Structure 1
Amino acid sequence: MSDYPVTVVKLGGSCLDDLAGGWWDDLAGHGQAHPLVLVHGWSKPLKRLNPDTVVLRDRYGNQSRWTTPEVIEDIKTVSAEIGEDVIDRLERRGITAERLLGSDGLVQAGEGERWWWRDKQLVELDNLVGPITGVDPSALKNLQPGHAYIVTPLARDAAGREVNTDGDRAAAAVAGGLGAPNLVLVTDVEHLLVDDEPVRSISARDAAAFRDKGATGGMRKKLRAAGEALEQGVGRVIIGSAPVTDLLAARTGTVITRL
């Protein structure tokens, strides 16, 4: 555990290509005073590498990418490229950085769902996904101001297999495990919208109610991750597309708190 307050940032795979130089300048400035843990997504890069993505739906209606051993290797390939790019951007701005696979001792996963809908039938499939069951913060050995970890949200299950996890929920688990005061979910939208109106702040209870009634797609997952982070002791979760210091100062974005 760090002696300094850690900032955990989830970098959405849908927006990584759109973060301009000023965004990275801002992050590096914040990182001079705070250890950074950046959990990255891979949706766009993985789709470019393998356009034939198969999305499964389980018996409860939850969606998941069908993850085979080949998809795990594809994830590692695009993650290496993402990691190298992020490290280059940060090191040019005075922040040292290193990559870490969540499956290398950081993130543990439980047994995943085995029954999925295929061709209108519920069938048993070996889908390498799993719910996060724990985080070992000791895997992050150098949590110091001026240094950043770039984490790929893979996990290791009880059988020792590498499995895919949801990036937002992995970031929430890491933030909770580190006792981070803030989790920032950087995405391609400026705010949470309720009835087409931007929401600047919302309680965890109201966010959960909206998640279950009106949220769709990626925002639904982000609201679930936000609730899990707050339950694990994270002080605030901020969702938005602006520079990190603007989001932390609540100048823009949506702030989610326990009350």
Structure 2
Amino acid sequence: MTETQAQLPPTVVKLGGSCLADLAGGWWDDLAAHGRERPLILVHGWSKPLKQLSPRYSEPSAILRDRYGNQSRWTTPEVIADIKTVSADLGREVLRRLTRRGITAQRLLGSDGLVSAGAGERWWWKDKQLVELENLVGPITGVDPAPLTGLRPGHAYLVTPLARNDAGQEVNTDADRAAAAIAGATGATDLILVTDVAHLLIDGEPVREITARAAAEFRDKGATGGMRKKLRAAGEALDRGVERVVIGSAPVTDLLAARTGTVITRT
């Protein structure tokens, strides 16, 4: 590794929990090839593994809506424990896939000094009433990149996006927005949001490139569900200095080359 390589900014890749198990061997070969040239930070979701762990996580009652209309998984200490369980299993598999391809890797919990969170919303709709509930979630307020001391080509970090709030509690955070915050804090030029759809669709048509302003307008007027969160995360990443965000389902090098997917830029 040359001195120039050691100074390269990382590529941050968010691995969607809904698609992680479906990524083929060729996808991982491509990621490893890119990782031999650039430092890698991977941030994973856990939605599908959590639903597979227990049917209760697929029930409508598992999701809360606050007074502003924002959705959140109802997170109790038991849910945090289950997130850690499925994340540990997922992490072992990701690290195995990387090490088999010559990339050294280590797993970090965001709550171990990497990601901090603010106070979460306390009022949620339940049984058609607005009630006060303890929900262990919180907005990300900062990232301390100090735990990522080994950033270099040939080495990857896998981050489980839990955070710690001012009260010292572990809290659940949105994985896309955690990836955006980490990308900004580490000086990444690119954030890749790997999901189970090939492009952002507007009026049923795939979008190859879009500005942050246009993406924000669509987010507020037409986007729903997971894509709405991804567009919010993309805007936050660009505001934090990331040069571009790419959303798609293809191999990382194809997304970076804009051969497929949707590229979101500042202007």
TM-score range, shorter-chain basis?
over 0.9
- Tell me whether 1:119 sits opposite 2:123 in the alignment: no
Match of 1:11 in 2: 15
Q: State the alpha-carbon separation in 1 of the partners of residues 114 and 239 from structure 2.
A: 20
Map of 1:28 onto structure 2: 32
Amino acid at match of 2:26: G
How far apart, CA to CA, are the structure 2 residues paired with 1:51 and 1:257?
39
- CA apart distance, 1:27: 0.1
Q: Which residue of 1 aligns with 2:208?
A: 200
The corresponding residue for 2:257 is 249
1:83 to 45, 70, 91: 91
Post-superposition CA distance 1:179-226 (Å, at most 9, x none): 100000000000000000000000000000000011000000000000
Residue in structure 1 matched with residue 183 of structure 2 by the alignment = 175
Instruction: Say which SS state the counterpart of residue 145 (structure 1) adopts.
Output: coil
Following the alignment from structure 2 to structure 1, what is the Cα–Cα distance between the partners of residues 153 and 17?
25
- TM-score (ref. length: structure 1): 0.99
Give distance in 1, aligned partners of 2:113 and 2:8. 22
Counterpart for residue 65 of structure 2 = 57
Match of 1:48 in 2: 52
Correspondence for 2:148: 140
Residue 50 of structure 1 deviates from its aligned partner by 2.0
Q: Which deviations, in whole Å up to 9, do the C-alpha atoms of 1:24-71 show, x marking residues without a partner? A: 000000000111000000000001112212100000000000000000
How far apart in 2 are the matches of 1:51 and 1:235? 40
**1:138-196 Cα distance to aligned partner (Å, 9 max, x none):** 11110010000000000000000000000000000000000100000000000000000
* Equivalent residues, number: 258
Aligned AA (1:212): D
Letter in 2 for 1:111: A
Which residue number corresponds to residue 213 of structure 1? 221
In 1, the alpha carbon distance for the partners of 2:55 and 2:183 equals: 32
In 2: Cα distance, 1:128 partner to 1:9 partner: 25
Q: Distance in 2 between matches of 1:234 and 1:5?
A: 11
Give me the whole-angstrom Cα distance separating, in 2, the residues matched to 1:3 and 1:159. Answer: 36
Q: Could you tell me how far apart the structure 2 residues matched to 1:90 and 1:120 are?
A: 46
Query: What root-mean-square deviation, in Å, do the aligned CA atoms of Structure 1 and Structure 2 show?
Result: 0.6
Tell me the distance in 2 between the aligned counterparts of 1:144 and 1:230. 23
| Aligned residue among 16, 23, 39 for 2:43 | 39
Letter in 2 for 1:81: D
Letter in 2 for 1:210: F
SS of 2:146's equivalent in the other structure is: helix
Q: Return the alpha-carbon distance in structure 2 between the equivalents of residues 110 and 236 of structure 1.
A: 26
Matched position secondary structure for 2:180:
helix
Q: Which runs of 4+ in 1 moved over 6 A?
A: none
TM-score, with length taken from structure 2? 0.96
Residue type of the partner of 2:91? G
**Unaligned regions of 5+ residues in structure 2, if any?**
1-5
CA deviation string 1:55-106 (max 9, x = no partner): 0000000000000000000000000011100000000000000000000000
Is the partner of 2:14 in helix, strand or coil? Answer: strand
